Amino acid sequence: MANFDLHSHSCYSDGTLTPAALVARAAQRGVTALALTDHDCTDGLVAAHIAAVEHHIRLIDGVEISVSWRGHTLHIVGLDIVPTAPALQGGLAAIRGARSARAREMAAAFDAMEIPGTLAGALRLAENPELISRTHFARFLVQQGVVKDMSAAFRRFLGAGQPCFVALEWASLADALRWIESSGGLSVVAHPGRYPLDTALMRELLAEFSDLGGAAIEVVTSSHKPQQYRVFAEHARHFGLAASAGSDFHSPQESYHDFGTLPALPSGCVPVWEKLQ
């Protein structure tokens, strides 16, 4: 039986495995179709495809785009994109540039708290100097013993409202969906249960997403508790959206759901993979 995992990260963004190691791990753990969805970057896809042939696994070209919507950061996954599409690449390059500027500001905030060397430390942990993430700062803080784990790094320093958080205006929802559509892909709201939106605002988001041509929302994801699977399955049904499933795997040490351990979609969902080419 097919086993889809449509959300994962390699070292081209804030995962720790190379695309080849990621694909090998997914295949060994029973995933038969994997989407590599690095944050704001598609450079890992070439190596992932080569590994996918070797490991007899289907590799779906993906990306996870950082978006600002009404003051909230959202993540929109693009599936089955053509990575070379110019509008998509132009948009992603702009986001990566903004990430680098934000990283310098975050480092200045750490300096002000007498925690030096964070930019160099984060860059050392980022295999792709073009894609610097809060995750790399968090790993550096753990490595230095400033905090005991990743979650403490976000709780104390990097999370929204914490002293080293630097707000960034990411892509607009409309732009992200336009880039994905113009590259032939399907748009998916990543881990909707993670956003601090009440039900009314969640409905506004999903209505707008659906009007803009969005295809699906993640129903089964590591970010959701089992009781949220039903809640988001119902949202999907209400808005005529398909349902996606992905581990959001980042690292063997840090990920809540390893490959091959995702539960099935709740009954009644239209799986987004039925819409993939």
Residue range at the interface with ligand AMP (CB under 6 A); choices 148-156, 198-206, 230-238, 259-267: 148-156
The answer to whether 248 contacts Mn ion (rule: CB under 5 A) is yes
How many C-beta neighbours within 10 Å does residue 56 have? 8
Smallest gap from residue 214 Cβ to ligand AMP (A): 20
Q: Are 2 and 31 in contact (CB under 8 A)?
A: no
CB of 114 to Mn ion, least distance (A): 27
Q: Which tokens sit at 42?
A: 């598609």
Residues within window 56-75 making contact with ligand AMP, judged by CB under 6 A: 66
Q: Which residue has the tokens 């970057």?
A: 41
Q: Give Cβ neighbours of residue 198 (< 8 Å, ≥ 6 apart).
A: none
The strand pairing partners of 249, in sequence order, are 8
For Mn ion, the binding residue among 4, 5, 14, 106 (CB under 5 A) is 14
* Residue 151, contacted partner among Mn ion, ligand AMP, none, CB below 5-8 A by kind: ligand AMP
Q: Which of 25, 75, 96, 99 binds Mn ion (CB under 5 A)?
A: 75
Which of Mn ion, ligand AMP, none interacts with 150 (beta carbon under 5 to 8 A by kind)?
ligand AMP
Q: Which does 42 bind (CB under 5 to 8 A by kind): Mn ion, ligand AMP, none?
A: none
Euclidean distance between CA atoms 150 and 81, whole angstroms = 31
Chain position whose Cβ is nearest to Mn ion: 75
In sequence order, the β-bridge partners of residue 189 are 76, 217
Q: Is 39 or 178 the residue whose CB approaches ligand AMP more closely? A: 39
Residue pair 43/127 in contact by the 8 Å Cβ criterion: no
